[in-house]
Amino acid sequence: MAEYTDPRECDGDGVADEMPELSDGDDEDIDNDEEQWMEEEDEEDSHPVTVTCLFCDRLLSSVPATLQHCTAEHQVNLVDLIRKHNLDDYGYIKMINYIRSTKCVASCLTGLPGAPLPWEGEDFLRPVLQDDPLLQTDPEELCEGSSLSTCPSSGAQSHDALQQWAQVAEERARSSEEALARAMDDLHKLKLLAQGLVLNAETSRSGNTGAVAELREDEDEAYFSSYGHYSIHEEMLKDKVRTESYRDFMYRNPEVFRDKVVLDVGCGTGILSMFAARAGAKKVIAVDQSEIIYQAMDIVRSNQLEDKITLIKGRIEDIKLPVEKVDIIISEWMGYFLLFESMLDSVLYARDLYLADGGSVYPDLCNISLAAVGDTQKHQDHIAFWDDVYGFNMACMKKAVVPEAMVEVVKTETLISEPTVIQTIDCNRVCLSELEFASDFCLKITNTTDCTAIVGYFDIFFDKGCSNKVMFSTGPQVTKTHWKQTVFLLERPISVQAGEELQGKITVRKNKKDPRSLLVTFDFGDRKLTYSLQ
């Protein structure tokens, strides 16, 4: 799993808006249609329209050129006539057909005050010329472009007029786009306002579970929409340590999967489901609440695995599976510092409801580890930096910076202790309440220096019943993953001696205001530091 943006920081543009259009048909057909359409458009471009003048036999190359010609040669300004008689579409069509059928002179068109117009009859709705371009023109548009098309000029300037007309059209398109952008912006602000209202409702009416549930739903919407965009999945798929470990576990242990029914909780693009199918699973049920599942549907079909893999869109907690029990649950639920995102809760929910007796959840074992870091340079970059920013004292910023755990890659050479495991989670046994815990730890210091931070990371094991066990680590000693490491900076470094043991207690709990984020507290006896992970 990859980054999850704090819902309150989530860009309200709605990732779903950017989703490519779904296709459940044959892509080739779509491409062909598109090409055909473009060809047709090109054809149209290569056949310019010709318009017969209303008063003589002259052929003109466009409607604006015709208007100019009528004004210059016949002293009939069609736009003035439209305006004068307040002509709607029908009135305009009738007038054109009237002129063409009666070959009248200009003076007939001005009409007498109070008298009915000479083209009033319904007969004039019938076109005199077939495919008359003048009839395909909107009179309102003619009027809007009038300053361009009606100025007396020679036919030679029709190209300029066309160009100017195109500019007007472009301008109109641009202002419509701007209006749309403003509307989207307003929508975004409204959404934030609504979120704010819900948040306030929660604090002012604590204990009101309705408001809390609403807030959770809102947050979850942001959570799932962060997984709707392809980029997060690209990052995860490109994380070879992660993806190849899942692949190796399944391909190297086909006996675990042969003829089994597998549930993939949070299938994303469907990669794990496809590994499981290839490893010999009888059936795979792949569930995801995020819009990415529509891509997974295409992906599964493209790989001819639709007979094996059934995809279901929805939260695992909300949907009903088409089977009563499954033999195996696979999921990639891990967040920063393992538990950030709280997706393990959903896997445990699925386990307790759907896993058959004797079934297994993979990965099955997870370790969370800590180590001491001595990196004075990094410490200065993040903390001392605020003492003098372009000659100004911004030290108060430290109070905001320090309590936020950082996600970054820690250089191996800055480790100044042996790592220590603070928690092991067995996904086949652990219960929800155990995902919040406290643990005493002891770090064996290897260098005499200043300890400037504590680093946290996790290791993942595919172990249960596997003849070929697979594991991977997200620690600073090995190839980096997209989880990087989690760094808890100490505002005041602790001076340590090689051989000494740095003792402390760590408490990990969910942030009640945002249950997908974590609060981590370190107690070193003389100081207690709480960090948020979001």
Which residues of this protein are in contact with ligand SAH, per CB under 6 A?
A: 1, 224, 227, 233, 236, 266-269, 271-272, 287-290, 292, 315-317, 332, 343, 346
Spell 486-519 as b/e; 16+ CB within 10 A means b.
bbbbbeebbebeeeeebebebebebeeebebbbb
Tokens at residue 496, please?
């340590």
Q: What is the nearest approach in angstroms of ligand SAH to the Cβ of residue 512?
A: 19
Q: Which is nearer to ligand SAH, 455 or 518 (CB)?
A: 518
Contacts of 371 (CB under 8 A, 6+ apart): 415, 417, 418, 419, 420, 443, 454, 455, 475, 476
341 is catalytic: yes
- Out of 43, 170, 341, 491, the active site residue is 341
- Out of 44, 120, 140, 332, the active site residue is 332
Contacts 24+ apart (CB under 8 A), 144-150: 144/168, 145/64, 146/79, 148/64, 149/63, 149/64, 149/67, 149/68, 149/79, 150/67, 150/68, 150/71, 150/77, 150/78, 150/79, 150/80
CA distance 36 to 33: 5
Q: Which is nearer to ligand SAH, 44 or 317 (CB)?
A: 317
140 is catalytic: no
Task: Please state the separation of Cα 303 from the chain's center in Å.
Answer: 25
Q: What are the phi and psi torsion angles at 411 (to 5°)? A: -75, 135
Which residue is nearest to ligand SAH, using beta carbons?
266
Q: Which is nearer to ligand SAH, 100 or 233 (CB)?
A: 233
- Left (φ > 0), alpha (ψ -120 to 50) or beta: where does 499 sit? left
CA distance 346 to 220: 12
Pairing label, strands 470-473, 449-462: antiparallel
Asked if 211 contacts 201 with a C-beta cutoff of 8 angstroms, the reply is yes
CA distances from 112 to 84, 118, 212 (A): 12, 10, 73
Q: What is the nearest approach in angstroms of ligand SAH to the Cβ of residue 224?
A: 5
Q: Which is nearer to ligand SAH, 334 or 487 (CB)?
A: 334
Q: Which is nearer to ligand SAH, 81 or 232 (CB)?
A: 232
Q: Which is nearer to ligand SAH, 79 or 343 (CB)?
A: 343
Q: Which is nearer to ligand SAH, 249 or 531 (CB)?
A: 249
The C-alpha angle 220, 422, 506, rounded to 5 degrees, equals 70
Q: What is the nearest approach in angstroms of ligand SAH to the Cβ of residue 343?
A: 5
Q: Would you tell me how many other CB atoms lie within 10 Å of the CB of residue 470?
A: 21
Q: What is the nearest approach in angstroms of ligand SAH to the Cβ of residue 82?
A: 57
CA distance 413 to 368: 21
Q: What is the nearest approach in angstroms of ligand SAH to the Cβ of residue 486?
A: 18
Residue 201: CA count within 13 A, CB half-sphere: 15
Q: What is the nearest approach in angstroms of ligand SAH to the Cβ of residue 271?
A: 5
The end-to-end CA distance of the chain, in Å, is: 15
Q: What is the nearest approach in angstroms of ligand SAH to the Cβ of residue 265?
A: 6
Q: Which is nearer to ligand SAH, 148 or 293 (CB)?
A: 293
For CA atoms 452, 453, 454, 455, give the dihedral sign: negative
Q: What is the nearest approach in angstroms of ligand SAH to the Cβ of residue 443?
A: 32
Q: Would you tell me how many other CB atoms lie within 10 Å of the CB of residue 371?
A: 24
Q: Which residues are catalytic?
A: 332, 341
